[in-house]
Structure 1
């Protein structure tokens, strides 16, 4: 057996003891699973026995299954915010295990810490005795952008102002935990902890059931209770929403997960408006009052009227609504000031000032460079310190002194000297190591634990577990999201079996069925998701037909070629393209076809439409079922394959390169049709789909059948059109040898049994529009959108196919057919505008800043 210094693997169950004897223990650190004599700690023993039974292949299989579930769930943490390559959340199948004794100490320490931070928050926006009595320098507060003067005197109903708190900890060499950071603004990670627990309990159900690990649901029940009680004096059935910064927030998956798990609407700033001192949700049924906002948007971006005027994520005037007590925000605005690392330097004095005692869990030793003595110490000991900006920012990460060159050290000290109050330094703590399964081997990796507290009536509740992160690289010693760290589920072991808890509180009196009142933005994205899906599908169907004709046994006649190529440009909107009738382009069409298929920057191309579809899907991730997410993932994979297929021009069989994408879109359409409840969300998605199919069909008929061709060429173009809409076989069975334009129009325009005919689409639209919410003051009036659909349906029903098929001898075109199709397209485009104006665009004019006041910190 080859001995490895940094890794070991599990093979047969009876070799566990021998394999674990080679488990590497890092010098100068605490190991979570093993004592210094390499003996497994008692609370890890059961897990080691269980995974030894699985063996190496079994554990690798569990890891693959976990990653597949995470991918299907859409679990991402995407710092780059790239829709085509989201980073799938990484989960280590070996959890971190803590015993009850350690956890009780952590729990009591965190309750104590959250209580202290609550007192600090109240003081900062209240009497400011900490500054008046010289406990902390005023620069620490006043020089930090997280201190919002607009929040002075604001409070939250109940005993606490700090409602949510997340704490990052490491276990030091002496076995005690030490805090290295606090998150108080919009603490993230609880949703990822929930996802880790859900996935691990699915891939290792028997091991999890036998572990007696504390459940996480207690924390989320406490969270729900806390949010409801914030407005208990006003309503028994509050409207609670989760406010997100948008679909490309790095932790958007977590926000969508919590919205679904807790049963709250996920909203963006543009979904809300302030009127008459209240916050309202802009929904299809009108404006609905919001009582509580659980925010995941940073303080300064929440109100463009009083805070950052350049924000696109906030709600103008929301601060005034909060001051008036008409809405409650968790955490309250201004709580970001508590995240400054400089506060940790003064925490022992603050604890003595408020509590009369030291905190039971220490914080990492911290120096604030705004203090002359501290700055001198930092200069002399930079190599042994971690430099952190006093203002936390993703663009300004921590700097590790021991990794700097001499030049980098000099440059850093020069920057600190220019604005010393903006920098802090902390001692380096070697994080405890824990077993991790990486690259099909067990290895030892440093770990950081984040756990969460939530306010209750007189204290705080702590999540029994949390989010553990470990380094992914063999030589990494710093755990951070920027170096690709992995996550772990965190099990707090109990000696007794604990009953499961769900979020259904059986003691609560029912308030009736809650029908979802969706934000207009969500419904609009569903509407456009339907449109982009149909647009991409019909474009690819036509392209497949044209490619097949180009590569057929018989050469494509020039007349047919010109009509079909031009139809592709008209159908996609990639103008001028083949419409300029350039012989050079028509004789060498390959570059244009490659662009129409694979150029994502060209509006109307296949890739452009599919990227727009994926963007819509990201915006409404919380609305998508598990099967829908799988299809979306497959669609993204097929788009990557499309890029590879077209990188050197048209592939040998270009029609086959589109098959997987078409099948994927058909699966998406079928799933929505068969599985979605016929609610308002389905109706608008179906309206988008039917409208786009009608527009595309009318465009196709106008671009292909209005041109008069010789009989054989006319027949080939007509059959190409029928083939692209899956109607050729039905046409041949019905009309046999009568391949005339009027018969094709009969099937594609008027046939009520053909789910792709114009009549079928517009008739379905009429039924759907009649079921949409209508203004109570205009129930008797026929709306503009209904009039347009009725007019379009009437025009189709009254159409004379013989007259439409007549060719004008002057223009050599079927002018009446061309005119009818153009009118239908115009009416349908106008119809979509009326739908958008009525249901998606709420004409709201909220408070706005008269002057931008984005002052720098050095003013």
Structure 2
């Protein structure tokens, strides 16, 4: 394949108007005709590539990847918080003319209407089964047909709210439907993200191409979801139900949640009470009227469906039956995804609509029919063999890729249970230009189109999600995680006019108060705590490195106290505590405390936990916060490289980037976050952890008296670790007394890292939390603990705390005070956790569905 010219000025306006690669054999080329000439609607894109040149295109490719990463656009399989898989986007759009799209749009509207009628029939009259148009085995033997959903009374004219259709072009260029997605049609959010990125990196081309916008489609999504609950309320509470952060498409769930303006919830955030669905939140229970689900059918309700699933809401189906909640798409719609239906779709269309399908489907043969089975076995190399029961574990067999042994095994598999398989004719798919390895290449592609039900019928997204094979030589476009994606442009001859909405027709609706699920604020609380743990550990570790490698002598007594404090603060015990041998040879232990992610309490482990909490509440994070978290990931990877052979030569410098990034994160939280409950709990977590660690630091470093030189070194080390050494020297000159240090670190309200500052901030925030009205019961338990800690700090005699107890040869009063404050703060976190976080265990399975009766 020919690469683009590398010098931008050498490119001419016509250099790519002929195909730069060999024309495909037996497949349609999206951009070039059979004689290699550029198709008219692709010329502007090809001229743009030429004018940018190789370097310009590569720069835009790199920029696109950076934007996707900063947006948190991931498609995770393992959900590694340090190395998330960034969504793969090819920057060249897929261009389709408006004239061609009009025919596709009509066909998609008809197909969605047909599938809506199939859903209604299968769970209602069942005319298709009674008249023998669809064999009963296909439906009743399919795990996606849920008898619990039969004859459910669903609101609205259309029951199938969302529909997605996978299409490929055949050799003639005609679009062919190869599959339908009706349970949780994924990809619309990724299509919107693709549009956002490509329009940013190729703004002039996007604007001049008169590309049809996606905004109207998503506005229709909002309107439809609102109208679904019109029989319940005029201002419904709508939520997006996700399996959670470990779902491969979690980014899309969070992205759509933010774009549409709906809370993102998990099954544990919802509960069924008194025949209704409620969201568990800080202020109690809030009724939910509409659920836009991204959870597969069988996992939605443990009470009636899969009993050992932990992702759904027990009792959800019964509430839907009563009409007290509307679910989009309705539970049970997974049956429509079976490829076996495509074998009978023309007959189904004639039966239910009295018309032929406008969008042809790929030739499909159900192996449960003896005649069809015989034909499939005779021509196996021409077919793709798909399980009739589609699942994440199911795999298709591509006959043209099998050798004789593979074909024989495939035949045996089909014959063992022919009703379980469907054969579809293999269509290679059209070839699409992509930008790959600094050159123009081509790969087979697949287009997923999306529709949403409206009052008038179905609205089709003007575009969709185009996917192309990821590697050269691949002739199969795999699932979302194994392919690249493209933005899909529907090109109009004229600019699209904005839809005008009369102000008089806009209903005055009261703004819904932001009400966060308990799970969200719990993750933000721990996000703040882990961030503070990591920062305190980093600061003390950096101070330790500076002292051990400094120009001044650091005696053994000072070394022992500082290293022991490091083990105590991180919680990596016993570590240096009472271990003189390790104290003299500390390098391996210090490296472990920094970089061992499997060691609870290490700096890397705390950062990983913080990032995991951030992933759990991705929808709550701002764009700038995601950028900072990505910088944090980069610094961690740099740290891993620096420590690959143990402790580096100048270890403190390797930690500077992490410290400044955490400070930037804290500063962004203070300066940019709205002072809502999400910020409040993040701040409570941060302040509580800082107070706890400060008390532990004072206890572990200053409770043991040392000779004057060593005592000064330890006091200055503590002050240095909390950024207070310069202030201390200016205030007290050279008088490095322990009581002076306690004055600055314990009771100085002007020091934002002092103990009293943290507790007073906690008192302020806790008083602003929602409280249960309990007249006559006095102060709440959390307020009592905070006031007691404040009194203990304010009433403390600093000179007394600095005195050494002769019998124990320790500063016993200081040790006891810090221990008591630590205990009170830990009790405070327990009370907050019990009061505001949801710890309800999931439903316990009493009978396993897979148990067999031994009679």
Cα deviation code 1:591-627 (max 9, x no counterpart): 2222211111111111110000000110111111111
1:852 aligns with 2:848: yes
Return 96-105 or 47-56, whichever deviates more: 47-56
Separation in 2 of the partners of 1:320 and 1:289? 15
Partner residue, 1:173: 171
Which residue does the alignment assign to 2:614? 617
How far, CA to CA, are the matches of 1:326 and 1:282 in structure 2?
A: 17
Counterpart mapping for 1:289-328 below 5 A: 289-328=287-326
Give the TM-score normalised by the residue count of structure 1. Answer: 0.96
The structure-2 alpha-carbon separation of the partners of 1:211 and 1:5, relative to structure 1 and needing over 3 Å to count, comes to closer
Which residue number in structure 1 is paired with residue 74 of structure 2?
Answer: 76
Between the aligned partners of 1:279 and 1:270, the Cα distance in structure 2 is 12
**Number of aligned residue pairs:** 851
1:645 is matched with which residue?
642
Structure 1 residues 165-188: Cα deviation after superposition (integer angstroms, max 9, x where no partner): 000000111121100110000000
Q: Give the match for residue 709 of structure 1.
A: 706
Distance 1:541 1:503, change over 3 A: farther
Alignment counterpart, residue 596 of structure 1, candidates 593, 596, 601: 593
Distance in 1 between the 2:136 and 2:157 partners? 26
Alpha-carbon separation, structure 2, partners of 1:134 and 1:620: 49
Quote how far apart the aligned CAs of 1:442 are. 1.5
Secondary structure at 2:566 match in 1: helix
Indicate the SS of the match to 2:766: helix
**What is the CA deviation profile of residues 223-262 of structure 1, one whole-angstrom value per residue up to 9, with x for unaligned ones?**
1111011111221111000011101211111111111111
1:217 equivalenced with 2:218 (yes/no): no
Structure 2 Cα separation of the partners of residues 22 and 206 of structure 1: 24
Counterpart contact for 2:746–2:754, Cα < 8 Å: yes
- Structure 2 vs 1, CA of residues 846 and 821 (structure 1 numbering), >3 Å: closer, same or farther? closer
Residue aligning to 2:89: 91
Report SS of the residue matched to 1:346: helix
Matched residue SS, 1:74: coil
> Shift of the alpha carbon at 1:849?
5.7
- In the TM superposition, 1:765-784 aligns within 5 A as 765-778=762-775, 781-784=778-781
Alignment of 1:609-758 (within 5 A): 609-758=606-755
Q: d(CA) in 1 for partners of 2:828 and 2:355?
A: 69
State the shift of 1:312 in Å. Answer: 1.9
Q: Is the 8 A contact 1:9 1:442 kept in 2?
A: no
- Shift in CA distance, 596/169, structure 1 to aligned 2, threshold 3 Å: same
Q: Deviation per CA, 1:287-308, whole angstroms, max 9, x where unpaired?
A: 1000000000101111111111
Provide closer, same or farther for how the CA distance between residues 841 and 679 of structure 1 changes in structure 2, counting only shifts above 3 A: same
The Cα of 1:19 is off from its aligned counterpart by 6.6
Q: Which moved more, 1:817-826 or 1:73-82?
A: 73-82
In 2, the alpha carbon distance for the partners of 1:846 and 1:643 equals 38
CA distance 1:585–1:413, change in 2 (3 Å): farther
Which of 584, 588, 607 is 1:587 aligned to? 584
Match of 2:431 in 1: 433
Distance, in Å, in 2 between the alignment partners of 1:132 and 1:107 is 32
Measured in 1, the distance between the counterparts of 2:105 and 2:744 equals 71
Q: Do the aligned residues in 1 keep the contact of 2:232 with 2:324 (CA within 8 Å)? A: no
Provide Cα deviations, 1:194-217, integer angstroms capped at 9, x if missing partner: 111111111111111111111111
Q: Distance in 1 between matches of 2:175 and 2:47?
A: 27
Separation in structure 1 between the aligned mates of residue 399 and residue 735 of structure 2, nearest angstrom: 83
Query: C-alpha deviations, 1:682-704, integer Å up to 9, x for none?
Result: 11111111000000000101111
- In structure 2, the gaps of 5 or more residues are none
Give the conservation status (yes or no) of the 8 Å contact 1:807–1:815.
yes
The answer (yes or no) to whether the contact 1:97–1:492 under 8 Å persists in 2 is: yes
Cα contact 2:524–2:681 (8 A) shared by 1: yes
Distance 1:509 1:558, change over 3 A: same
Shift of the 138–18 alpha-carbon distance from structure 1 to 2, 3 Å rule, reads closer
Checking the alignment, whether the CA contact within 8 Å between 2:3 and 2:439 is kept in structure 1 is no
Unaligned runs of 5+ in 1: none
Aligned to 2:827: 830
TM-score by length of 2: 0.96
Deviations 1:744-783 (A, max 9, x none): 1111000010000000000111111111111234597321
Deviation at 1:414, TM superposition (A): 3.2
Matched residue, 1:565: 563
Q: Deviations over 1:502-529 (max 9, x none)?
A: 9998842232333311111111111111
Tell me by how many angstroms 1:416 deviates: 3.0
CA distance in 2, matches of 1:373, 1:790: 83
Q: Distance in 2 between matches of 1:503 and 1:448?
A: 36
Between 1:642-651 and 1:523-532, the stretch displaced more is 642-651
1: distance between equivalents of 2:500 and 2:643?
50
The Cα shift of 1:848 comes to 6.6
Question: 1:551/1:519 Cα in 2 relative to 1: closer, same or farther (>3 Å)?
Answer: same
Q: Which residue of 2 aligns with 1:42?
A: 40
SS of structure 2 residue aligned to 1:499: coil
Of 745, 759, 766 in structure 2, the residue corresponding to residue 762 of structure 1 is 759
Contact 1:212 1:494 survives alignment (8 Å) = yes
Shift of 1:21: 4.4
Q: Indicate conservation of the 8 Å contact 2:17/2:38, yes or no.
A: no
On the 8 A contact 2:575/2:589 being kept in 1, the answer is yes
2:603 pairs, out of 588, 601, 606, with 606
3-state SS, counterpart of residue 658 of structure 1: helix
For 1:492, the equivalent position in structure 2 comes to 490
User: Are 2:521 and 2:678, in contact at CA under 8 Å, matched by a contact in 1?
Assistant: yes
Worse-matched range after superposition: 446-455 or 128-137: 128-137
The 5 Å alignment of 1:51-450 reads: 51-450=49-448
Matched, 1:29 2:36: no
SS in 2 for 1:577: coil
- The CA RMSD over aligned residues, in Å, is 2.1
Counterpart contact for 2:524–2:682, Cα < 8 Å: yes
Counterpart in the other structure of 1:479 = 477
Other structure's SS at 2:633 match? helix
- Please say if residues 155 and 161 of structure 1, whose CA atoms lie closer than 8 Å, have aligned partners that are also in contact: no
How far apart, in 1, do the equivalents of 2:367 and 2:280 lie?
A: 47
Q: Hey, what's the Cα distance between the residues in 1 that align with 2:809 and 2:502?
A: 70
User: Given that residues 8 and 443 in structure 1 are in contact (C-alpha distance below 8 angstroms), is that contact kept between their aligned partners in structure 2?
Assistant: no
In 1: Cα distance, 2:368 partner to 2:214 partner: 41
In structure 2, distance between residues paired with 1:408 and 1:748: 73
State whether residues 433 and 445 of structure 1, in contact with CA within 8 Å, keep that contact through their aligned partners in structure 2: yes
Cα contact 1:215–1:501 (8 A) shared by 2: no
SS of equivalent to 2:50: helix
Cα distance in 2 for partners of 1:268, 1:799 equals: 47
CA distance in 2, matches of 1:199, 1:777: 52
Output one character per residue of 1:485-544: Cα deviation in whole Å (capped at 9) or x when no partner. Answer: 211111111122113469998842232333311111111111111100001000111111
Provide the residue aligned with 2:790 in structure 1.
793
Q: Secondary structure at the match of 1:692?
A: helix
How far apart, in 2, do the equivalents of 1:504 and 1:524 lie? Answer: 42
> 1:21–1:174: structure 2 CA closer, same or farther, 3 Å change rule?
closer
Contact 1:436/1:442 (<8 A) preserved: yes
When residues 819 and 502 of structure 1 are mapped into structure 2, their CA distance, relative to the original with a 3 A threshold, is farther
Matches within 5 A, 1:811-830: 811-830=808-827
Partner of 1:715: helix, strand, or coil?
A: helix
1:500/1:56 Cα in 2 relative to 1: closer, same or farther (>3 Å)? farther
In structure 2, the CA distance between the partners of 1:506 and 1:494, relative to structure 1 (3 Å rule), is: farther
